Amino acid sequence: MKTGIVGSPSPPLENVQWIDGNGNQRDPLSLEELGTGFKILYFFQDWCAGCHTHGFPTLVTLLENLGNKGVGFAAVQTVFEGSDVNTFDRLRENQSRYGLGIPFGHAAPVEGRGETVPAIMEAFQTGGTPWFVVIAPDGRVVYDGFRLEADALVHALGASVG
C-alpha cells in the first residue's frame, strides 16, 4: 500500500466509533469540529510498543504546547491486527492513562466488505502505528508519517498559530 497523502485534501473521519474528551460515547466526529486551525490526528494501536514509547508522549507534548493555540486534536485506534486486544474499551484506558481530554476513535475493518485494514487507514494511506497526520487550516495534509518530532512541530506551528 502506498503511504502518505501530503499535499492532498484531508479525507473525512469516516467509519470510526468515537468517545469525546470525557470518555463518553459520541456521534461521529468531523474535522470541522476540531476547529479552523491546524489539526493533528494520531493513529495508534493499544498493543503497539512504539505507540506508548514515542507516539503518546509526542501527542502529550504537542497538546501541552499547541492545544491552547487553536490546534485541534484527535486520536484513532486503527485495528489492522490484534482485534481481540485493540478493542473499543481500550480507548478510555489510553485517554485516561495519558490525561488526554481529546476525542478518541476506534476503527476496525468493516465485516462483509472484505477489508483487511480500516477504511480510515486506506483514506489517509497510513503505514501502521504510531502514525501522525497534520492538516493545515486550508484542509490540506502537510505531514503524514511514522515519526513526528514534537519540538520541531511545536516550533513550526508556534510561529503560525501563536
What are 42-91's pLDDT values in tens digits? 999 999 999 999 999 999 999 999 999 999 999 999 988 888 888 999 99
* Contacts (Cβ under 8 Å, ≥6 apart) of 53: none
Q: Which three cell numbers stand for residue 96?
A: 485516561
Q: What is the pTM of this model?
A: 0.93
pLDDT the model gives residue 147:
81
Higher-pLDDT residue of 105, 83? 105
Overall average pLDDT of the 133-148 stretch? 93
Q: Return the domain boundaries, the chain.
A: 1-28+47-116+125-147
Peptide bond into 118 cis (omega under 30): no
pLDDT the model gives residue 27:
95
Q: Which of 114, 94, 120, 117 is nearest to 10 (CA)?
A: 120
* Contacts (Cβ under 8 Å, ≥6 apart) of 131: 42, 43, 44, 78, 124, 144, 145, 146
For the domain 1-28+47-116+125-147, what is the CATH superfamily, name and number? Glutaredoxin (3.40.30.10)
Rounded to whole angstroms, what are the CA distances from 127 to 78, 102, 130?
11, 23, 9
